[in-house]
A and B are shown apart, each in its own frame.
Chain A
Amino acid sequence: MQMQAETNLMSDADMAEEIVIETQDVNVFYGDNHALRGVSLDIPKHQVMALIGPSGCGKSTYLRCLNRMNDTVEGCRVVGKILLDGIDIYGPQVDEVLLRARVGMVFQKPNPFPKSIYDNVAYGPRIHGLAANKDELDEIVLSSLEKAGLLKEVQDRLHSSGTGLSGGQQQRLCIARALAVRPEIILMDEPCSALDPIATAKVEELIDELKENYTIIIVTHSMQQAARVSQRTAFFHLGEIVETGPTEQIFTSPIDERTQGYITGRFG
């Protein structure tokens, strides 16, 4: 009942918003473990959607469904419908490899390849053939670094190793690397959990800028972060979505007791 009421309230408020990802009754199983139970969630375009909830609640699992990264996990089974611009991404005609180029991902731990900064960013464009020649590739690499706010810091050492950067710079390099493939959606799985507060602030600032052109879905353990960067928030608990709505509403007047409990720090 509560879910129902909430959904209505949400759709009234956001009628004008364009929905880019629509998930309907998604269930995920790792072997016998039922990790995600009947999750339905709409993700509006060019906004930041935060997924919060205690550890093991399924928020990362949900995130990894959206670009089919779960396919690389052995024994993982996804049931339900996930529509990206109206197309079921688990449908038979969809190539999950191309899907991942449209739905980019940034991981918890910065994971630059042990290559130069330039080659890290050029990796995606090269495998997808996005650049016809060296000049175009240069252009993609530089503009991606620029968008990720990293260009000034690294422009005089583009050919030194990406693993030699600081943690925060590495994470922004990973964001640049994802941007270089020109995705529409960027999934971020706790992108700041391995970073110090200053690096975190930079990444958050970047997320705020990126939402102009990209749809961002971010999993975070920090409720302050969710409050700072997101427009909408979904609260996961025990594999289900308990509550979803505009971030402000979730943090100021949550409907469900569990949400309130989690946000005020009574559990989780």
Chain B
Amino acid sequence: MSFYPFLIALLLLSAAGYWFGSKKALGAVRQSTSFLTPRPHQFGLFVAIWALLPPLLLGVFWVVFQVMPLQLDAGTNQQIDRVFFPVLGLLAAAGGLFLAIRRIGPDLKVRKSIEAVVFGILILASIISILTTVGIVFSLLFETIQFFKKVPMSEFFFGLNWSPQTALRADQVGSSGAFGSIPLFTGTLLITFIAMCVAVPLGLLSAIYMTEYASDRFRSVVKPLLEILAGIPTVVYGFFAALTVGVFLRDTGSAIGIDIVSESALAAGFVMGMMIIPFVSSLSDDIIMAVPQSLRDGSYGLGATRSETVRKVILPAALPGIVGAVLLAVSRAIGETMIVVMAAGFAANLTANPLEAVTTVTVQIVGLLVGDQEFDSAKTLAAFALALVLFIVTLCLNVIALVVVRKYREKYD
């Protein structure tokens, strides 16, 4: 018996359980003197849950069991999986079903049992998502520890030179490998800074326009349009950055006598800023909308103009929230990968000149892991170290942003 027939049999069994449960409930419970009884379908659900739960628990147990295998050969193991488990599962289901049907009666607290199962499912869902995150962090952490066994921490954190080519064979030349991450982080900062210079003013001003100046009709048309920008896949932005903006900047530069490389930080940062505009504007929009109308009325009632009201009442009131929104946007920009992979290139220059090519942490992680790699080489492990640092940085930014936003929210409640 393979898996799918087993699954179908299980579902049929639980459906039958539902039907029998409802049926029996109609007979047994309705005859009772008690006036308020659960509905028959709740008894049916109860039976169905009891039919599904035992094989499910058995399945979980089975998986855990296999992680620590008995000392049997593979063939025997597979044999057990193929035959033994489905039979056991169906037996468990039938047993649960039988017990559940027997318990049906006026005294059964069926609603509470179902509620407990729902509660369990919800807890399970949140635990799974939390555990996954924790698992990712730990896998990063362990590989990073491996990395720091091969490369000293001081080199990684303070080295100014990034050239992650280690020798595969002893006779290879010119591949000593340098793992100084500073050029990557300065590159990331430079591009993020440029992106913020584009995204924050444009996003914020458009949010102010949308909330304070635009008519409802205009807003209802334009706001979704702006949010479409957020739906463009980042790889498309990458195209735009690499093939249009980069080339345009280079040509413009050569026309006026400035040397701009086509993979400049400026092009990547500019396009990344474009990508983040809807993010900033939609968050700021929500925050500005949350400023109570009564404050606007108060300001207008004192003879303030719209722009005075925006500058002196609305923005100060919304400022903490806007700071939070900008921090969230920064953490997005730092983590953004596709645009910089396509537009910024791999050259790890330590420079603050936006017209030169720089590289970012995310680009290098991609570069380190693309293609065939030895999993225990310093080169591959460096990707994990970079990822961990990146993760910690964006995590801190997000936490700060959320704290700031929350603090602001409490103010008007």
Contact = CB atoms under 8 A, between A and B. Distances in A.
A100 interface: yes
A177 B411 CA distance: 21
Interface stretch (B221-229, B247-255, B274-282, B300-308): B300-308
B302 A72 contact: no
B302 A107 contact: no
Contacts of A174: 298
B302 A114 contact: no
Interface residues of B, number: 21
Contact of A115 (B297, B300, B316, B411): B316
A115 B296 CA distance: 14
A127 B302 contact: yes
Contacts of B313: 113, 123
Contacts of B299: 113, 123
B295 interface: yes
A97 to B, nearest CB: 5
A109 B305 CA distance: 22
Contact of B308 (A74, A109, A127, A178): A127
Contacts of B298: 107, 111-113, 174, 177
A104 interface: yes
Interface in B209-243: 215-216
B312 A123 contact: yes
B317 interface: yes
B302 A177 contact: yes
A178 B294 contact: no
B27 interface: no
Given A69-B297, A111-B297, A113-B295, A124 B302 contact: yes
Contact of B303 (A97, A112, A114): A97
A244 B302 CA distance: 29
Contacts of B411: 114, 163
A212 to B, nearest CB: 22
Interface in A162-202: 163, 174, 177-178, 181
Nearest to B412: A114
Contacts of A104: 301-302
A177 to B, nearest CB: 7
Contacts of A113: 295, 298-299, 313, 316-317
B292 interface: yes
Nearest to A177: B302
Given A113-B317, A114-B316, A114-B411, A127 B303 contact: yes
Contacts of A115: 316
A195 B171 CA distance: 87
Contact of B305 (A69, A97, A124): A97
A111 B295 contact: yes
A74 B215 CA distance: 7
Contacts of B317: 113-114
A27 interface: no
A132 interface: no
Nearest to B301: A105
A134 interface: no
A115 B319 CA distance: 13
A98 interface: yes
A105 B302 CA distance: 7
Interface in A90-135: 97-102, 104-105, 107, 109, 111-115, 123-124, 127-128
A193 to B, nearest CB: 13
A130 to B, nearest CB: 11
A105 B296 CA distance: 12
A215 interface: no
A67 interface: yes
A161 B409 CA distance: 17
B316 A109 contact: no
Q: Tell me which of A74, A111, A115 has the highest count of chain B C-beta atoms within 10 A of its own C-beta.
A: A111
Nearest to B314: A113
Nearest to A178: B302
A99 B304 CA distance: 10
A124 to B, nearest CB: 4
Contacts of A69: 297, 300-301
Nearest to A98: B303
A79 to B, nearest CB: 21
Nearest to B298: A111
Contacts of A177: 298, 302
A67 B297 CA distance: 12
Nearest to A124: B302
A111 B314 CA distance: 13
Contacts of A114: 295, 316-317, 411
B408 to A, nearest CB: 10
Contact of B301 (A74, A107, A128, A163): A107
Contacts of A111: 292, 294-295, 297-298
A230 B303 CA distance: 26
B154 to A, nearest CB: 48
Contact of B302 (A74, A100, A109): A100
Contacts of A102: 303
B323 to A, nearest CB: 15
B278 to A, nearest CB: 24
Interface string A68-89: 0100101000000000000000
B297 A107 contact: yes
Given A74-B215, A113-B317, A127-B312, A67 B305 contact: no
Interface of B: 215-216, 292, 294-305, 308, 312-313, 316-317, 411
Given A69-B297, A102-B303, 9 more contacts: A69-B300, A99-B303, A100-B300, A101-B303, A109-B294, A111-B292, A123-B299, A123-B313, A178-B301
6 contacts: A100-B302, A109-B294, A113-B299, A123-B302, A124-B302, A127-B302
List the 4 closest A-B pairs by CB distance, nearest first.
Answer: A101-B303, A105-B301, A111-B294, A100-B303
